[in-house]
Every structure is written in structure tokens, then in C-alpha cells.
Structure 1
């Protein structure tokens, strides 16, 4: 049996009456005993429909208490599970079902009717503990013999467990398959670095089809013996009340969530300083030191910035709780991290290069892809650019594919965006390079302002700020104000899409 399953069984057996999962929408708690019973109900059903270890199942459900039950049951049974967005369009869902040979689907509300129309699927509503239920669509091979019980409940450490796609912010997403060992190793790193115990309670505000919510928030908390509380989705206006009422001790968020909590008037009005909350953890995208400073000043709560990737089953680095550095993504925890300098791994302070990874939580190849495209001497090439300081803290400076080539100068969009975000009237900013016949690319900054801010005044103040903090060749030649920026489903800005749109329009968006 894999150590991951052994650890899950151990947690669920001790103190069986302790409450560990709460569905906030349904106002339902599950104890460890009830969680274990529900997992067994699901694995018994998997056996009854003749699922085999390594069979693939798709989950597009919205966040709820049922979600972790499905995940844990799939791990225990030895299935390969793929969490995907509830908002997949009909075409996207059809493409996913065509590309992968899924044997079962746990659908979102929107996908339920789409699957009902397809003759290949049988449907079942499963009743679980505390009146919780879920629908499953599954295939049945009538010629298949019944599966022996001896083949079930015995996955090993190298068993494929979780299939996810990279965020695809700079191109086509790549398929990542994580093993039981990857997941357990990553969760243990989170528990260690954030000093998680059975007393911790986390509010899961990110969607569970994202690696951050899956491993950093959910699995790590459960394996530490703590509690997970799941609203249907993040609500800025309800966030602080939920934290206070549920005695939340930490939250894994993203820069977009942090930005919304700063800008949302109802969030500000409903804020009551929660005595239970130890920290907010920010990952999924770089958090500017300016945004972090504004949040910490307003709410008097610490933000611990980290760095993670799907390919590393979540966490790579995180700031120590007792000594956090603004602007840094922290120190490596467990994962080996180096910088590619002169085509060799190195850790020389202040030397900028591509970030490299290696470790038991890191994949050794992408699915159906030549490893030589992404690995060098066994190190995963992340595509992120960064450097270490003399204290061993990692700083990210951008993505190699996102660098703007202005007249031969290679400029990080992140540096420009961090300057723009110093202005408290800026909600979001993205810098991209668009085609220019003379200089190769010109720098364009696309900006979302707070409500009721005058664009002419904003443009004047931002121009002065850029002139003060950036060299002339680093400054945008154009500032464009928009109502919103394109994001992927987990909140990352899609610079590549923005760049394509601006190139198509010739940079002639409304200013």
C-alpha cells in the first residue's frame, strides 16, 4: 500500500468523532468516521461498476464537501483522477472526453445535462453521509468479468494519482501526471513549512481543479489532522465573516483574491479583525511587494508568499513564517532549486537565470512529450526567471517566454507591473510587447483602475511614477486603460492572449 493511503487511513482512524470537513453552503460537518465511511461507499461503487486501477475519471464539480471525498476515494482505489473546471464549455468538455478514455465523470451542474444526452453513459446518484450526494456518469463493459477484491486498495507509491494541465499562460498547456509519492511528499513539505497541526482550520477559496487548492490547502491540511471548510466559491463580501465565524487559522489565496479583498467595498465594510487567523498564503502568481504592503497595512495581517507549480505537486518555495521577505517567494522547502547559468545549474547570489527543479515531488517528464524538451541533466526547466539573494531567498523576475525585446533590451513585464501597482488606484496591470517595425517590440501597459478614478489624472501620475522608477528603455510607450484583463480559470493574467489581441488590433485599443 502506498504511504499516502497509509497516512490517510491513519488520520481517519484516530479520534473518529473529530469533525474535519465542512460544507458551508449545506452547513454540514463530516467527522473522520463519516469521511472514512463515505470513501468506502465510493470505492465499493467503483468496484461494482468494474473500474480498474489506473482507470481515468474526470471531476468537473463545483467546490463542496463531496469533492475531497471523491479525491480520497480515487487515491485509495488506485484511479487516475483529473479535476477540471466546472465552467468548461460544451466543446471543451467534448474535446476532453474524446482525448482521454474516461471511465467515469463526476459532473458540474452545467455538465450534468450535457452528459445525459450522450448514450454512452449510465447515470447514478450516490447518497453519502449526512445527506450529501453526488451524481456519477460511468461506462459499463457488459463483457467484463467482476473485479477481484485483491486488486483493490493496494496502490503503490509510484501509482499515478492526479492528472492536471499546466496553466498554459504562454502557450498550449502540458499534461502533468503526479504519483502518490509526489502528492505525499509535497503535502509533507507544506505541513513542515507552515507548521500545520490538528488545530488548524483552512477556508478553501480557490477552485479545487487547481493544484494550490488540491494539495496545499486540502490534502496538506487533512494529512496534518486539521479541518477544511469549503464554500461553493470565494465571496469577498462574506470572506471576513466566514473567517471569524469558523475560526479559520490560515488561508491559501492568490494575488487576484488579495487584490479583490483590497478593492471590494463590502469586504472592507465587513472586516472584523479575526483573532484565529495566523496568516494568508499567496501563490499561483507573483505577488508584488506593493500589493502585499497595502494589504498588510490595511488589514494588519501577514501574507506569506510562496512559489509553486503543478509539476512540483504544489509548493516549491515559501517564506518562513518567522522571517518573510516582501518581494521574495521564499526559500526552497524540500525541493532542490537551482538557477541555470551558462547552461549549468548554479546558486550564485544575484545571478539571474531560468529556475530549475528536482525532487521527489517533481515530475520527471510530461505525458506524451520528449523529456529533452523540458529537462536538463535531470532538472526540470520551469521557464521562470529568477535569482537567489545571499540569504537563500528566491526572487522571480518573470517568464522567459514573456520577456519583451525592445530594441535588443530584454525587459521583464513583472518589473513594469510592480511599479504600476505602487499606485493604490491600480487594481491590475499587465505589460506586454507588441510588434514594432523599428524596435522589434514596443512596450504596452494595460491597466485596470479602481472605480471612479479619472483616466487622465491616472495617466499623468503613472507616467511620473514610471519615469522615476524605470530606465527610459524599460518604460511603456503606451498606457491602455481597460475594464478587465483576460484571466485563465484560476485567476492568472493571460499575457500571451493579451499580446495576441493587441497585435491583432495594432495596439489601437482605447486609451
Structure 2
């Protein structure tokens, strides 16, 4: 039976099997996690918080963040927020979410507490007893009233609310039901053939859909375990690999690149590692990085395609013996996936259009945003905002975000196509192509580049290299060499707004 609530999903694990672990701490069993979840639901109900009441969670990455998401989400609605936000940002998000309470640990968050005080929002404290198993906690706080709907959440109750990143407009609220998140977890577990003996090393932030669903919930839905690190750290990654002995990990491309940058110094750890596969998602994985990771770790790298509105996964490359196609995000992996023209008709193989999806993991709609819903939910499908193609075998290639396509005097250029060509230059470690304002053409092609350690290349050399592989209008007119490319909170490279950030705006 497929789970349709978090409470049902937790039944997959055997009582004595470890569900949650953390470096240097004893593991929490599935029985322990189920007991914690029931205690948490009872405790929240006693504090006046029930089904569909929102609890904003501001906690550091780690097992308590994972278990709080699961245990609170099983009886109320979780709203995880980035602990790095400033007070003004917390004030916006807490107010926009209409949160009923804010959950912090003993270390607290001065910025979140200042925002809560301004909004008169009650604060609950997560307490961890000395020597407790990873993820075990209790909650202290004052009652905030009477819970309207008590007990475990039902399939159509909201389990999780997240904001979209909103690069060009106000962030939109995405409510994800119990059914949405459990469907997505099951889809991922199925794609990766997860079994109870599998173990995931989580290095993704747990205020982000990728970490919450792809690492935590997919593992739990298969009765498997997750080791929760304090967050991504390329210097500590190999020590964690040695200690946790995971069978897989999932990350964004910039993290894979940072890990590969330290691989030569950690060959013994790599030899000892028993990775069954590595997963990549949340932004485009350059085929060169995929090849290097497969050669380094001796296992397949599975690139997947996800977004918040789909409770993460939409498509994925399959495990061997089926084909993995570098540069492709794979085949439909849960929801239906299609390519649509501007007039709403579905396109044939290899035709370029907008990627659209529909399925049990897809949100029913943005909250209080009829305009966004009219645009995104049309012709019976959810419109992803991504442009792409699908080949005869159903493999999807993303050619770019529709908003990121560079319009150079009427010529449309996919930044990802330029990225892939520049990544072939032996001196280039990382690249992000973006639109730069131009007084006559409207937009011009620019690229930010990080060179490999010990390598050198001039702007002229790289442009000449690109000229032999790209039409002239696609060759970047401006190259910016950086020590590090600015990233978003989840490690994603951000094209929109990069020109202004680098001082290349008008």
C-alpha cells in the first residue's frame, strides 16, 4: 500500500532498524521515530496546534531538523526557513506564512526572535536531552490557544509550505499536501530502488525541498536510514563518508564540483567508499562533471529534475542497466511529463517547448495568488517555466528557464548550451552564462568563470575556443573571472540578476 500521510510512511521501517543518524551520535530507530512523532502530535495538540496549523522551523542542519520536519509535519504544517535570513526577511516570511508558532532550539536565532517579537508570534523550544539518539527531542513552550483539528494529519491536509525563490517577483507560497510529499518520496525511492539496507548521507540544507524529500522522506519511505550532517562542508565530506559508510548521497552540482576538487587528497576514503550511486538535482549537471564523478567514485551518477511545486522530483535518469544520458534529466519519474507549445498543444519528439507536468506529487496551486495559478495551471497541466525537448525514448533535456533565455536583438540563446561548450575548455572549472544589458541589442551574452587550480586562460583564448563551437551570436562578449561564483542559499548558481551583482548592469 502506498502511503498518503507521513504517519503511514513511517510504517515502512522495521522497529529496530536505524532511521536517523548523525556523525558521532547513536542512531534513532524507526520505532523511536514513530514514538517521537506520536508524542510530538500529542504535545502540539496540548499547546493548541493541530492539523493545518503552521509551525515555522528555524533550526541548524542536522538530525533534529529532519525529525522535527517529519514529526511536526505528521500532525501540523511545517514551514522550514533558512537560518541565515536577516530579521527583515524573517518578518516577511513569518507574516506571509501566517505562522501559529516559531520553533527554535536553545541556541536560538536573534534575527528570528526579533521578528517573532515584532509579530507577537509565540516561540517554542526544541530540547535535546544529554546523550539522546540523533533526532530525539521534546518541545517546551506556552499554549497558544485550542487546537481545532487534533490527531494525525489526513491525506489532503497540508504537510509542508515553502516559498518559491522569487528571483524577479514576490516569492509565492507553495502548499504541499501529505499526499504530495509522500507520493514524491515514493517516486524517488522507486527510481533509486531504495531498500532498507540503503543509507543516505545528507549534505543538503533541510529548509529546501531537495534535502527534505529526496534525502529524508525517500529514505524513510523505503525503511532506509539517513545520516544528517551539520550541512555541506567539502573539507569534512570524506571523513563523514568514512564514518557513515553511506550507499548514496544527493547534492546540487556545485557541491559535486567542490567534492571532486578535494578528491585527489582523499583517495583512501574513496577506495573504502561503497557508494551504489550518486544523485544530482536542483540545477543542471555539466556532462563533464558527471563523467569526472563517475570515474572518481566508480558508480553511476543519476541526474534528476525537481522543483518545489512538484514536491521535488519530476524526471530522473534511471539506474543501470538502463541508459543514463549526460546532459539529460532523464525520463518521467512519478508525474506525467510532456512538452507543450505556446498554444497549449503537446509537441512531438525533439520539438522545443515548455516542460509541463501533472500527477499526485504536484501542488494543487499557489496560496492566495490567482494570477500565478492562472498562468501556471493551464490546459490541464502545471507549467514549469522550463524550456526543453523530449527525445523518442522519453528523455528530457532542459534548454533553459524561459525567464533566463537571452534575447540578443531577437536571437534567442540558451545559457546552458553556452555553459556546456565553455566547460569543455581544459582550464575551466565552473561557468555560468547570463544576460548582460545592452543599449542597442537589449541583451548581450556574458559568462562568469572559475578557472581550475593551477590553470590559466585569457578572455581571448576562451572566446576563441567558444568561437569554434558556437554560432557567433552565442559567443560571450564579456567574460568575468572569479574566485567563486555567487550562489543562492541552496548552492544553486543564479543567472537572473547576476549582471547587476557583478556591476555589469546599465
Pick closer, same or farther for the CA change 1:262–1:2 going to 2, 3 Å.
closer
Q: CA deviation at 1:498?
A: 0.7
Secondary structure of the 1:245 match is: helix
Question: Which ranges of structure 2 fall in alignment gaps of 5 or more residues?
Answer: none
Pick closer, same or farther for the CA change 1:139–1:177 going to 2, 3 Å.
farther
Match of 1:229 among 213, 227, 237: 227
Contact in 1 for aligned 2:21/2:27 (Cα 8 Å) = yes
Alpha-carbon distance in structure 1 between the residues aligned to 2:3 and 2:378: 29
**Cα RMSD after superposing both structures:** 2.5
Secondary structure of the 1:107 match is: strand
Secondary structure of the 1:197 match is: coil
Q: CA deviation at 1:159?
A: 0.7
Secondary structure of the 2:204 match is: coil
Alpha-carbon distance in structure 1 between the residues aligned to 2:7 and 2:46: 23
Question: Which ranges of structure 1 fall in alignment gaps of 5 or more residues?
Answer: 507-511
* Matching residue of 1:162: 160
Pick closer, same or farther for the CA change 1:451–1:170 going to 2, 3 Å.
farther
| TM-score between the two structures when normalised by the length of structure 1 | 0.90
Secondary structure of the 1:286 match is: coil
Secondary structure of the 2:72 match is: helix
Contact in 2 for aligned 1:240/1:267 (Cα 8 Å) = no
Alpha-carbon distance in structure 2 between the residues aligned to 1:504 and 1:423: 24
Contact in 1 for aligned 2:46/2:143 (Cα 8 Å) = no
Alpha-carbon distance in structure 2 between the residues aligned to 1:234 and 1:17: 29
After TM superposition, the structure 1 = structure 2 runs for residues 101-500 of structure 1, keeping only pairs within 5 Å, are 101-107=98-104, 111-114=108-111, 118=117, 121=122, 123-127=124-128, 130-131=131-132, 140-141=143-144, 144=145, 147=147, 151-264=149-262, 268=266, 271-322=269-320, 323-370=323-370, 371-454=373-456, 457-500=457-500
Secondary structure of the 1:410 match is: strand
Q: CA deviation at 1:426?
A: 2.1
Alpha-carbon distance in structure 1 between the residues aligned to 2:440 and 2:93: 43
| TM-score between the two structures when normalised by the length of structure 2 | 0.91
1:238-288 deviation line (CA, Å, top 9, x unaligned): 323322332211111110111111223675456422452111100010111
Contact in 2 for aligned 1:103/1:138 (Cα 8 Å) = no
Alpha-carbon distance in structure 1 between the residues aligned to 2:123 and 2:389: 53
Match of 1:86 among 83, 86, 94: 83
1:61-117 deviation line (CA, Å, top 9, x unaligned): 11222122212222321x111111111112211222233322222226774344556
- The size of the alignment, in residue pairs, is 495
Alpha-carbon distance in structure 2 between the residues aligned to 1:462 and 1:311: 38
Q: CA deviation at 1:137?
A: 7.5
Greater shift in the superposed pair: 108-117 or 219-228: 108-117
Alpha-carbon distance in structure 2 between the residues aligned to 1:349 and 1:115: 49
Contact in 1 for aligned 2:3/2:182 (Cα 8 Å) = no
Pick closer, same or farther for the CA change 1:335–1:173 going to 2, 3 Å.
same
Q: CA deviation at 1:433?
A: 1.9
Pick closer, same or farther for the CA change 1:409–1:122 going to 2, 3 Å.
closer
Alpha-carbon distance in structure 2 between the residues aligned to 1:374 and 1:418: 29
Alpha-carbon distance in structure 2 between the residues aligned to 1:240 and 1:126: 30
Secondary structure of the 1:427 match is: strand
Alpha-carbon distance in structure 1 between the residues aligned to 2:410 and 2:151: 58
Secondary structure of the 2:200 match is: strand
Secondary structure of the 1:69 match is: helix
Q: CA deviation at 1:53?
A: 1.8
Alpha-carbon distance in structure 1 between the residues aligned to 2:168 and 2:113: 35
Pick closer, same or farther for the CA change 1:376–1:274 going to 2, 3 Å.
farther
Contact in 2 for aligned 1:434/1:442 (Cα 8 Å) = yes
Pick closer, same or farther for the CA change 1:435–1:9 going to 2, 3 Å.
closer
1:423-467 deviation line (CA, Å, top 9, x unaligned): 34323212122222222221111112234433xx34343223201
Match of 2:28 among 27, 30, 41: 30
Secondary structure of the 2:231 match is: coil
Pick closer, same or farther for the CA change 1:19–1:234 going to 2, 3 Å.
same
Contact in 2 for aligned 1:338/1:356 (Cα 8 Å) = yes
Alpha-carbon distance in structure 2 between the residues aligned to 1:500 and 1:116: 32
Contact in 2 for aligned 1:60/1:83 (Cα 8 Å) = yes
Q: CA deviation at 1:135?
A: 8.1
1:406-428 deviation line (CA, Å, top 9, x unaligned): 12100011111111112343232
Greater shift in the superposed pair: 433-442 or 412-421: 433-442
Pick closer, same or farther for the CA change 1:64–1:267 going to 2, 3 Å.
farther
Contact in 1 for aligned 2:278/2:302 (Cα 8 Å) = yes
* Matching residue of 1:42: 40
Pick closer, same or farther for the CA change 1:56–1:423 going to 2, 3 Å.
same
